[in-house]
Chains A and B, each alone.
Chain A
Amino acid sequence: MKTIEMTVNGERVQALVEPRTHLADFLRDHQRLTGTHLGCEHGVCGACTVLIDGQPARACITYAVQCEGSEVRTIEGFEDDALMNELRAAFSREHALQCGFCTPGMLIAARDLVLRLPGAHERRIREEMSGNLCRCTGYVGIVHAVASVVQARGASNETPVAQAPTASSAPRFTPVEDRAEEKRQSASPVGAGTRIEDEVIVKHPLERVWAAFADMPGVAACLPGAEITESAGSSVKGRITVKFGPMRAAFAGAAALERDEAAKRGVIRGAGQDALSSSRARGDITYSLSDAGGGSTRIALGIDYSLQGPLAQFSRGGLVKEFVGRMVAEFAANLDRRLAAGTLAPPPAAQLDAGKVFWKWLWSRIKAIFKLRRRAL
């Protein structure tokens, strides 16, 4: 708990809050100022918009502790504000609200717009108000209401675009710098759907690689961030730690290996749960070996994966796919490196730490390996 002090609607307030209490909850639950509404609670809908030190801000993604010493003004704090009263009248007149849930946020955003952009025309008003969602009105009434207040105040300071669009008449020149874009190309493989494929060629005969792949703990340890806690025959138990920007998860679970001797194909089926978020992940890694000639073996890797639970709320599938693609590439690089070293035995514990140092080291290794691979191909 932290003691915080701030000004709310002109009055000094002091309170004991948890750092995770966001400003909107603080205003509603601690200050009983329920005019600040909560819609989406992750910064999208704008219903919770208040003024912090005179500027509109989302109260749901600003924590109360961050407002120490600030001046906060909520919809209740505009009783004597002439401009807000004009806007209120305009909202009533133009039918700019129905259920009223978005209205406090709308009014605060609109007031800021009117003050900041005198003479704003309809298109700009629509653009500026786009951070506040309304599910009743279709926005027409809201735009009319704001436009009427803007017009009543007169005077425009809208500036024209910064440069005239005259691409064809721009001077021609030859750039001195020509960094070959191929050189900076990323090596991560990307496949369709939730299946990702990659391929690696190792300079070891097929039989030897096939034999090495039977070593389940050794193969599993090639997964970046994996930690094997228990192993028995073709199955292992352990944990895989992943870090994706501010997101971290440690999926604890088990994996088992199935092999098709004749086809030189295998599948590692793994599933685990992140204790902290209760998210579940499942992934099947398939590998298929073939002779690449000259005593080398081609390893075709594929992964099918799925994610369920709170972490699956992260709705940017493409990014997760790219991330899993990088993991597959790292897995391939680890296999290659470990086979080259003559063993698939698990590396020293320190290397299993998915920390930044390991990550960086691994990344540089992968880059080196992939450069070599391209030349070899």
Chain B
Amino acid sequence: MKPAAFDYMRPRDVGEALKALRGANGEAKPIAGGQSLGPMLNLRLARPKLLVDVSRIDSLKEIKDEGDAWRIGACVTHAQLEDKALPGCELLAHVARRVAYRAVRNRGTVGGSLAHADPAADWPLVLAALDAVVRVAGPAGSREVRADAFMTAAFTTVLADDEIVESVRVPKPGAGARWGYYKFCRKTGEFPEAAAALLLDPERRTARLFAGALDRPPQPLDGVARAVAQEGTASADMIAAALARLAPGLGPAARKLRVTAVQRAILQS
């Protein structure tokens, strides 16, 4: 349970962090809270040569009100979001409170969760449902990637080795918007077996429903979302059919669990 040896550096700003990552030829890993990377290091599943600690970079720790959206710095912790409800985005506090355990939430960050891209993690799913946009800092400046396209496969994102997540822009849903978030965990705080997030925004006329905790990135159930927006509900058969298309590897029990998570997210909204 002791990690293999690695070197460690703590850059002062984003530029310095990117430079360090670029100079390491893919042998470096950025670390923020380290709540996902730490266990992998201790188990020696991950053996980077260098850790670039971005957790003290002030510009990554800001939460800003941009009028129609909240901009959340990559190194904002789950606990910060849990403790401070952001008007218009109350779902964030609801979700943050349910990420792992308080001792983990105090250090784990939103950007770290996105970059780590565990398919069972809360933020990749919820930020996709909220139609958030991820700002990525790289050698050629910043670029923006939609949260629902950020993760390309389990533990794989669009990030290059010399890029880091800078912030996430979460649009404030319109007045009267409703949301639902449900996850099945065998034990409180463990990674869920099934999860679903729904946003119904009549003012903007958008309905977004995603199934998470699959073996792949969160999957959009657009047809189901549309039915829920129009009729207030969707049949289990319809949800099961959508999941069969989007996650064909699921066995009957696994699919049933996911159908139920989607139904409960809908009921909650």
B23 touches A (CB below 8 Å): no
Pair A173/B178 contact, Cβ less than 8 Å: no
Pair A61/B205 contact, Cβ less than 8 Å: no
Once the chains are docked, how many angstroms separate the CA of A58 from the CA of B45?
19
Pair A190/B248 contact, Cβ less than 8 Å: yes
Pair A245/B117 contact, Cβ less than 8 Å: yes
Among A16-24, A81-89, A216-224, A368-376, the stretch in contact with B = A16-24
Pair A112/B43 contact, Cβ less than 8 Å: no
Pair A131/B104 contact, Cβ less than 8 Å: yes
List the count of A-B residue pairs having beta carbons below 8 Å apart.
Answer: 231
A345 → chain B, closest Cβ, in Å?
27
Pair A181/B242 contact, Cβ less than 8 Å: yes
Pair A277/B103 contact, Cβ less than 8 Å: no
B195 touches A (CB below 8 Å): no
Hey, which chain B residues are within 8 Å of A25, CB to CB?
2
Residue of A nearest to B149 (CB): A184
B119 touches A (CB below 8 Å): yes
Known: A19-B6, A321-B249. A42 touches B42 (CB 8 A): yes
Hey, which chain B residues are within 8 Å of A248, CB to CB?
46-47
Pair B200/A170 contact, Cβ less than 8 Å: yes
Pair B101/A245 contact, Cβ less than 8 Å: no
Among B63-71, B153-161, B164-172, the stretch in contact with A = B153-161
Hey, which chain A residues are within 8 Å of B38, CB to CB?
22, 42-43, 58, 60-63
Contacting A at CB under 8 A, from B107-142, are 107, 116-119
Hey, which chain B residues are within 8 Å of A178, CB to CB?
222, 226
Pair A49/B103 contact, Cβ less than 8 Å: yes
Hey, which chain B residues are within 8 Å of A174, CB to CB?
205, 226, 229-230
Once the chains are docked, how many angstroms separate the CA of A163 from the CA of B266?
13
* CB-based closest 4 A-B pairs: A131-B101, A245-B155, A190-B249, A61-B38
Measured CB to CB, the residues of A under 8 A from B are 2, 18-20, 22, 25, 38, 40-44, 46, 49, 52, 55-58, 60-63, 65-66, 68, 109, 112-113, 116, 126-128, 130-132, 162-163, 165, 167-168, 170-182, 184-186, 188, 190-192, 244-248, 276-277, 310-311, 313-314, 318-319, 321-323, 325-326, 355-356, 363
Starting from the known contacts A62-B34, A109-B102, A185-B246, 16 additional A-B residue pairs (CB-CB under 8 Å) come to A43-B104, A44-B39, A56-B103, A60-B38, A61-B42, A62-B107, A116-B102, A130-B188, A162-B93, A167-B178, A175-B225, A186-B153, A186-B246, A245-B117, A322-B215, A355-B161
Measured CB to CB, the residues of B under 8 A from A are 1-8, 10, 26, 29, 31, 34-35, 37-48, 51, 53, 55, 79, 85, 90-91, 93-94, 100-104, 106-107, 116-119, 152-156, 160-161, 176, 178-179, 187-189, 200, 202, 205-207, 215-217, 219-223, 225-226, 229-233, 242, 245-246, 248-249, 251, 266-269
